[in-house]
C-alpha cells in the first residue's frame, strides 16, 4: 500500500469529546495504514535489537491495550491476559504461529470499534476503579491517544525499514 488512505480528520475547533475521539481514531487509522499491505514475513521482520519490535507485534500490543483500558478498566470486563502477562510481560508481542497479519488487523479494528462504543456510553468525568486505582474516562482516552501515537512512531520507522513506505 503506497497511497495515503483517508483517515479521520481531527477537528481544529469543537468540543473535547469530538477532538479527543477523532485524534485517537486518526492514530488508529494510521496503525492500519502502516501495518497494511505487508507480507506475513515483512510483518514479522526484526529490524531492531529487540526481537519483539515487529509490525505484527505492535498491532497485537495495541489490540491488547484497547481491550485492557477500555474493556477491562472502563467497562469492567474480565482480564483474560493477566495471568499470561504475569508469566511473560511481553506475551502480547509474541504472535502465535499461523496468526496472520490480516487476522491481527481485523482483531484490532474490532477492538477499536468496541472501544468506541464503550467511550460513547460514558461521560469523561465518569470514574472507574481498577486494582485500587481510580481513573476517569478522560484519562483513559488521553492515555490511549499517547500509547497509540507512540507506537505509530515505531510503525513509521519499521515500515520505512521494511519496504521504504514513508508518510505521516
Domain boundaries, the chain: 16-163
Q: Please return the burial class of 141, using the count of CB atoms within 10 Å of its CB with bins 0-12, 13-18 and 19+.
A: buried
Q: What is the mean pLDDT of residues 52-64?
A: 96
Confidence of residue 3 (pLDDT cuts 50, 70, 90): low
Is CATH 3.40.50.1100 the classification given to domain 16-163?
no
Distance CA 77, CA 164 (A): 40
Report, as an integer, the average pLDDT of 54-83. 96
Mean pLDDT within 68-90: 94
Q: Above 90 in pLDDT, residue 1? A: no
Across 129-141, average pLDDT: 97
Phi and psi at residue 3, to the nearest 5°: -85, 145
pLDDT in tens, 24-55: 999 999 999 999 999 999 999 999 998 889 99
Distance CA(137)–CA(73), nearest Å, equals: 9
Contact 38, 163 (CB under 8 A): yes
What is the spatial distance between Cα 90 and Cα 94, in angstroms, rounded to a whole number? Answer: 7
- The model's pLDDT over 114-123, given as tens digits with 9 standing for 90+, comes to 999 999 999 9
With cell 514513508, the residue in question is 166
Residue 11: what pLDDT? Answer: 86
**Given pLDDT bands bounded at 50, 70 and 90, which one contains residue 2?**
very low
Cell numbers standing for residue 8: 479521520
Amino acid at each position: 500500500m503506497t497511497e495515503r488512505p483517508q483517515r479521520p480528520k481531527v477537528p481544529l475547533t469543537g468540543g473535547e469529546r469530538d477532538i479527543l475521539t477523532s485524534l485517537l481514531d486518526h492514530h488508529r487509522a494510521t496503525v492500519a495504514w502502516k501495518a497494511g499491505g505487508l507480507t506475513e514475513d515483512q510483518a514479522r521482520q526484526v529490524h531492531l535489537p529487540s526481537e519483539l519490535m515487529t509490525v505484527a507485534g505492535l498491532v497485537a500490543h495495541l489490540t491488547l491495550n484497547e481491550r485492557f483500558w477500555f474493556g477491562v478498566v472502563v467497562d469492567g470486563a474480565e482480564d483474560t491476559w493477566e495471568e499470561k502477562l504475569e508469566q511473560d510481560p511481553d506475551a502480547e508481542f509474541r504472535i502465535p504461529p499461523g496468526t496472520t497479519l490480516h487476522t491481527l488487523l481485523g482483531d484490532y479494528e474490532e477492538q477499536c470499534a468496541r472501544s468506541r462504543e464503550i467511550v460513547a456510553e460514558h461521560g469523561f468525568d465518569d470514574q472507574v476503579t481498577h486494582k485500587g486505582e481510580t481513573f476517569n474516562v478522560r484519562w483513559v482516552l488521553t492515555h490511549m491517544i499517547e500509547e497509540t501515537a507512540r507506537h505509530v512512531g515505531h510503525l513509521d520507522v519499521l515500515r520505512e525499514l521494511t519496504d521504504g513506505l514513508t508518510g505521516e
